[in-house]
Every structure is written in C-alpha cells, then in structure tokens.
Structure 1
Amino acid sequence: MSETPIPKPDLQTGAYGWLHRHWQGSYYPDDLPEDWQLGYYSNDFNTVLVPAADLVASLAGEQVLPIEDWPDEVHENFRFYIECNAVLLETVGAAALIEHLGALQQQLAALVVGNAGDAGAQAASLQRLGDALSVPLYAGDSASDIFLLNSELKDLRQVRAQIEPFLQQLENRPQAEAPAAIFVRHPKLQAADLGRFRAMLEVMGY
C-alpha cells in the first residue's frame, strides 16, 4: 500500500509593495488611477508586503488611498504583511500604528522585520506592537516563515535554488499563526515575472 503524500504547507506569494512606477503601462493600464492599483493587484495576487516607507507616506497623507480604505479595495482572502523598522516606529509611534493597522482587521496577517539591526534594537517595542494587534512578528529570512527574495525572477532555475532551503524548512515547521509567504523585492521586478514565479511554485505543489 502506497503512503498518502504529505500535503505541502500553505505558501503565499506577493510583491514588496504594489506601488511601482515601472508597472504603470507594463502591468497597470496607463489610465488606471493610483487609488485603483491595489484592487487591480489583488485580482492577480493574494498578498503584499507593505514597505515601511509606503506606510509612513500613507499615514502622512502623501498617497491617494488611505490605509482605512485598503480592505475595501481587496477580496476577503487578501492578506497584508507590514514591514516594520526603527524609522516607522520613531516616525509614526506605536500608539498610532496600533490604531491605523487595526483598520485592516482580519486581513492583517503579520508584521515583518527585514533588518536584523531593527529586530535587535526594537525587539521589545515590535513584540508589544504585534501583541496589541494580535498578529505574529516574523524576521524576513530563510529561517522564518517569511522569505524576502531579492530577485528580478528572470532565471527561475536559479531562483528555485535560492528558495530551496526555505521550502525545505517549511516542511518540518509546526502550524504557524499565519501562512508562510515569499515576497519578492527588486527595483526592476515585473508583475508578469512574479506571476510566472507563482506558477512555478504551484507546479511544485505549493
């Protein structure tokens, strides 16, 4: 009798932010307003890692779409991961972050610390922030449930080798509070390549 295959862990794939100027015309239609871009992105992808700088700009009123409107622009299964760093905490403050991020409610998946220095220097403040919002706090490296991939995704064979250690450690991880996720950040990343990367993961069973 053959053994039942062990199901792959839940894995989401998204971009590091959805506001990319070079996506205008190449992914977003030329005439698509900025405040419609999140909804357009969510039609193709189920998650995004919001850069700390974008969150600061949004809360300062420098973006057309305020954070309170984000949940209305996406489908119910869409999840926001928020990049946290020392600049965000110092600029906005923990109390204001709790208030504004609370607007995302169930669609707020986790806080992500991409810089090891921030994780150490602000560890207590970041943990209190996560506890107040009832979401996990992750480091963005291969030993975490979140992996930040710096790649243009042009060579998927090479990319697969990069993410293999992360995928292997997912197989033995306990049930996490939020789905595992790979977020791709690169100044030249194209949405079409992100879609092909996700398709590769789906073929691999994720």
Structure 2
Amino acid sequence: MENLRLDNLEVTTLGWQYSQWQDTFYPDDLPEEWRLDFYLNHFRLAAIPQHIWLPWLLDEGLDEEPFDDFVDCLNENTLLLLIVAEEQLAQLERLLELTQGSDFAERLIGCAVLAEMQLPPSEIQGLPVTLVSSRLTFPGWSWRNDGVVVSGQPMAWINDLPQDGKQQADLLKDLVASIPQQKSAVPVCVANPEMSISSVQNLKTVAELLGY
C-alpha cells in the first residue's frame, strides 16, 4: 500500500452516478451497483461525494454492508478523495476515526472541503485539506477558475469544463504553472453535474499529451 500515491496529474469526476453516461460510457445492461467497478477501470482516482459516504455512518458505528460493498469495488491501484460540505466536517472526522487503519484509509489522498462561512482546518485526521470556495482562501497556494478558488493542498475543481481541446489544454497549463514543481501530481476534479463523459475523457487525453 505504501506505493499508492499520485504520480501524475489525475483527472476524476465528482462521483460516478450520472444518468447521461448511460449508453455513452456505461454499457446499457450494466446494473447501477456495478458502475463504480466499471468506472475504476477507466479512472484511477475516485472523488467520493458526501451523499455516498454519509449513509455509512450509523449512531452505533459504521454500516458495514454498504461500506464493504464500496471497498469491494476498489482495485489495487485505486486512490480516493473525500468531498465534504463544511456542515458535515464532524461526520467526516467520525468516518475517518471509524475506518482508521483500513484498506479504505490507506487509499485516501486528501479531502476537498466546500466552505463559504469559515476556514476549515488545514488537515483532518492527518489528511491534507483542499478548500473549495468562492470567498475563502487558505494562506499560500491557490488557483482560481470560473469564480471558484481552490487553496491549501493543490488540486483543481472545475465546474464548467470546456469541450474544446485547446481550451482544456490552456486550463491545465494554467493549473500546473501555479503549482510548486514538487507537487505537480494533483487531482483534477470535474464537478459539473451536466458534464459529458466524452469531454472528461478528452481532458484525460489532453493531460497525457501534455506530459502531465
């Protein structure tokens, strides 16, 4: 597990359950519960929205069945990024406490906190935090795109992904130019709920062609 880390700029999406991907990405006859398995054959990094992980938390602890079902979908190279709104930070800390030392925990590379009211901690249970906000910024590194600023642990958060390959290349070049060279292996999370999978796949190709 010690080799599980980002080696390159890694494109992912906010979750994997998108109805518009049926037929264009997911096979027509693929059951919904198998989508994550299929997704992880094409994307190394999974960004887990809080509507996925919050139901794992019960008053008495971890709901083992959905948690185990999720973990069973992971392959040997899968990495994970947790997404959380500022109102759910206490629940995120609880999840990390309950899963400490697990295979799931070993795959976590960080968490993205969506916050507008107050700055979150820069680390949560040892995990580096990326702040995603329209008005708040951590000291140090930051990157602005389409009215959203990401700061703290470097990553990209893209709400409006251009379809044009040149515009995608310019976006990635701008991101990489902002990042200290030793930290250039970062997540790129496309978060638009209306995104087309072809645009995301093209972004992956553009990143590879640029050598990122």
The answer as to whether partners of 1:76 and 1:107 remain within 8 angstroms in 2 is no
Deviates further, 42-51 or 102-111: 102-111
Distance in 1 of aligned mates of 2:20 and 2:47 = 18
Q: Check conservation: 2:96, 2:105, Cα contact below 8 A.
A: no
Aligned-residue identity in percent: 21
Note the alpha carbon deviations across 1:86-139, whole angstroms, 9 max, x for none.
23235x363244214764132111111233435x1xx24x73x332xxx32222
TM-aligned CA distance change 1:205 to 1:100, over 3 Å: same
- The TM-score with structure 2 as length reference comes to 0.73
In structure 1, the residue corresponding to 2:52 is in which secondary structure? helix
Call closer, same or farther: CA 1:175–1:182 in 2, change over 3 Å: closer
Q: 1:35 to 1:203 in 2, by over 3 A?
A: same
Q: How far has the Cα of 1:180 moved from its partner? A: 0.8
Check the 8 A contact 2:99/2:105 in 1, yes or no: no
Asked if 2 retains the 8 angstrom alpha-carbon contact of 1:110 and 1:137, the reply is yes
Question: Which residue number in structure 2 is paired with residue 156 of structure 1?
Answer: 165
Of 146, 166, 176, the residue aligned with 1:167 is 176
Once residues 49 and 151 of structure 1 are traced to their aligned partners in structure 2, the CA distance between those partners, rounded to angstroms, is 17
1:50 to 48, 51, 56: 48
Is the alpha carbon distance of 1:57 and 1:95 closer, same or farther for their aligned partners in structure 2, counting shifts above 3 Å?
closer
Instruction: Judging by fraction of residues, say which structure has more strand.
Output: 2
Could you tell me the TM-score, scaled by structure 1's length?
A: 0.75
Q: Which runs of 5+ in 1 are unaligned?
A: 1-8
Aligned counterparts of 2:43 and 2:92: Cα–Cα separation in 1: 30
Q: For structure 2, which runs of at least 5 residues remain unmatched after alignment?
A: 1-6, 59-64, 133-141, 144-150
Name the counterpart of 2:70: 70
Q: Which residue of 1 aligns with 2:37?
A: 39
Letter of the 1:147 counterpart: A
**Aligned alpha-carbon RMSD (Å):** 2.6
